Amino acid sequence: MLRALIFDVDGTLAETEDLHRQAFNRAFSDLDLPWRWDPALYADLLTVMGGKERLTHYIDTHHPGEAASLHARAPEIHARKTIAYGGLVTGDGLPLRPGIARLVGEARNAGLRLAIATTTSRPNVDRLLAANFGLDDTPFDVIAAGDEAARKKPAPDVFQLALDRLGVPAVQAVAFEDSAPGIASARAAGLPVLATRSRYTDSHSLDGAFSAVSDLGEPGRPHRHIAGLEWPDDVVTLGALQDWHAGVR
């Protein structure tokens, strides 16, 4: 029986990555750092999972001569970035990707458990959920965030943490991801993965996912099939997920 759905956040629940990029740039400006991450550079930096780790990597590779002093400032930079990101999400709004709210609602109404497994920090998750579900009505039973996992994706730690908190075995859950490291992480935790293509992971291989689509789709607004399992009417529904899960288990 399918008992739980586990979602990545950045690029999966919402197209958050460019707001993260903008938030980093605001933090740099606030702290008088002459840095600016454009979309092409940020796409390269996204090969490093986790905002703090991404910042560390950037310092090491682009400013090695100042690395010691800049690493000392990194906590302040990242804290400013988190504040800036929250302001962008709250002020500008950030809608969920097609099909997310619908599928989450279907699962919630059917009594399935819902979880998040992400490399981003908990305040970023909370801001996004508050903006889209309200402060007191989050549908997610469990949130496993990046700062709680010993190792970032593609290690399985954060998905395993989510499964442990749910009390559900991997064979009774499905993960939703948008990136190659995320797929590898979920698969290493024993989870089947449904992959969606996002803006900043457009070049990623989605190998390892049992189905890869542009998004979950909506009635009257179907998704684009990429690879693997095809969905009735090009829309991922809970009923179709349950039918697939029953067939393979």
Residues with catalytic function: 8, 10
CA 13 to CA 216: how far, in whole Å? 10
CA 24 to CA 7: how far, in whole Å? 24
Residues making up the chain, counted from first to last: 249
Coil, helix or strand at residue 143: strand
List, in order, residues 6 or more apart from 145 with CB less than 8 Å away. 116, 118, 120, 121, 122, 125, 158
CA 57 to CA 138: how far, in whole Å? 33
End-to-end CA distance of the chain: give it in Å, rounded: 8
